[in-house]
Structure 1
């Protein structure tokens, strides 16, 4: 009987191992407890602003973003979708496409699309369009962020008033002591580029994405914002700028990480967001 028990346990262990290796993702809360994806959905319903931090080329996470949008949509007239993956000067084109005034082909020709738009972001946009969910293009135009990386924030002052409409109101405060910005500077130590200007370029992106949602948050809309995890991890980046205007706003953050082992997360990762989605390191990538 003992021998049989040992064989049975070994068999069950082999099944568990196989299942663990084929699990597409696990979810943890900020206490380090493993929960299901429905826990994110339930907590999101009571948040006015949700940051879904992604790894841009992780296909599983983009699918989960779509599932969260679908779960929030029913009977929610205040729901809006927002994203880093479109720049603010594309907003008019997006609005016209949403209104049905142009074909998908024309829209995609006229807009500045990320190279994985078709596989990762188009499903979100089509669902939003079909269900009349307004979309906010939140990111600063890349050319202006690039200008800051070369000349600092002062470089923006020479822009026309029309150009400044696509940027957070100047002057923008940058706290370079924030851990995320300080870590960025440390990581780039030794670079020939001006590191303070690089931090400023990151900060103007964060400030502009926060500013893009301000009007709608003031009106009581619920916003699901899609962005790279580093823009909202540890409640910094965009979250920090939102908090300057809305210190008491109900905010929920989601981080995405890739690990070989999906069964646990370390202490630092646990502290990075309200929920952490862990996917395998060999998850299919869109690029």
Structure 2
């Protein structure tokens, strides 16, 4: 009888999980669709967004670069935050610190979009994926924070290690966070596992590059909030920088431990992540991106990406 009862319980759990999975996928059928979840059994709409997000000092929104649904969500969320709080600065991984003056000129109508793209070193997918966000900030008279470290410097950190920063003059050094925490922690373990098979010294240098992005974005956000304490900040960055609070959130929390931080990360399957993140984390269900590699052959188009294979002198 006891065994029979256990079997029924297990069957019930299995059926519930199957129904839940079906409900999740029924919510997203195109690459423009998304569904936000607080936990697997609790989907939420933007109109019923919890105060953990609405009242957060910083909302970190992870993304899969070029995913239409994720970028649509970012725009929808930013509009909602602006409706709820008139002071919401937009912070972006997609612009590096040297682009700040160019961004400011664009927001002040001193230059046009072509100049912004050219002189701000905008990503190739700016017009399709980030234009909407920047235009929302511009219309609301809100600042856009060029939060990231310059790619050429980060690339050299990846080749030489964090000691490369010692070669920079004082002006260049300010383009990267003053402090880089490359100590052993779960984030480093996850990164190392992703790079499995590579030489340990190579991984150490690549991890230093990864951390330089996280730390610089966190420092940029922290500096803005210290100068503008009335501002809420929404920051966009790649998923790995955001998920589980191990990247940007960890670095930001070290600098300003009293900040209320909320995380939103894209997923293709909703799971229970409540025990993984020290910050409130919400999952954005979207369709998986198409396969980027077929039969082990890299798409030759990748080499045309202006940021993918640029030659940098690190001497």
Give the conservation status (yes or no) of the 8 Å contact 1:41–1:72: no
Residue 94 of structure 2 corresponds to: 85
1:208-252 per-residue CA deviation (whole Å, 9 max, x = no partner) reads 000101122223121000111110111111111111111121111
Q: 1:95 aligns with which of 65, 90, 104?
A: 104
Q: 1:276 aligns with which of 265, 271, 283?
A: 283
User: Given the two structures, how large is their TM-score scaled by the length of structure 2?
Assistant: 0.76
Deviation, structure 1 residue 74: 3.2
User: Given the two structures, how large is their TM-score scaled by the length of structure 1?
Assistant: 0.83
1:200 aligns to 2:208 (yes or no) = yes
Deviation, structure 1 residue 29: 0.9
Q: 2:172 aligns with which of 127, 151, 163?
A: 163
SS at match of 2:251: helix
Deviation, structure 1 residue 36: 2.2
Deviation, structure 1 residue 17: 11
CA distance in 2 between counterparts of 1:270 and 1:33 reads 16
Residue 22 of structure 1 corresponds to: 29
CA distance in 2 between counterparts of 1:172 and 1:270 reads 26
Deviation, structure 1 residue 19: 5.2
Residue 198 of structure 2 corresponds to: 191
CA distance in 2 between counterparts of 1:21 and 1:163 reads 45
Give the conservation status (yes or no) of the 8 Å contact 2:40–2:271: no
Q: Which has the higher contact order (CA 8 A, sep 6+)?
A: 1
Give the conservation status (yes or no) of the 8 Å contact 1:89–1:141: yes
Query: Structure 1 unaligned runs (5+)?
Result: 1-15, 260-264
Deviation, structure 1 residue 258: 2.5
Give the conservation status (yes or no) of the 8 Å contact 2:116–2:122: no
CA distance in 1 between counterparts of 2:94 and 2:283 reads 21
Deviation, structure 1 residue 76: 3.3
1:56-92 per-residue CA deviation (whole Å, 9 max, x = no partner) reads 1211111111111111113734310001011111001
Q: 2:241 aligns with which of 231, 245, 252?
A: 231
Residue 310 of structure 2 corresponds to: none
> What is the number of residues matched between the two proteins?
264
1:94-123 per-residue CA deviation (whole Å, 9 max, x = no partner) reads 001111111112222212121211100011
Q: 2:259 aligns with which of 246, 249, 273?
A: 249
Deviation, structure 1 residue 202: 0.4
Q: RMSD of the TM alignment (CA)?
A: 2.6
Residue 266 of structure 1 corresponds to: 271
1:135 aligns to 2:135 (yes or no) = no
CA distance in 1 between counterparts of 2:42 and 2:91 reads 29
Give the conservation status (yes or no) of the 8 Å contact 1:139–1:208: yes
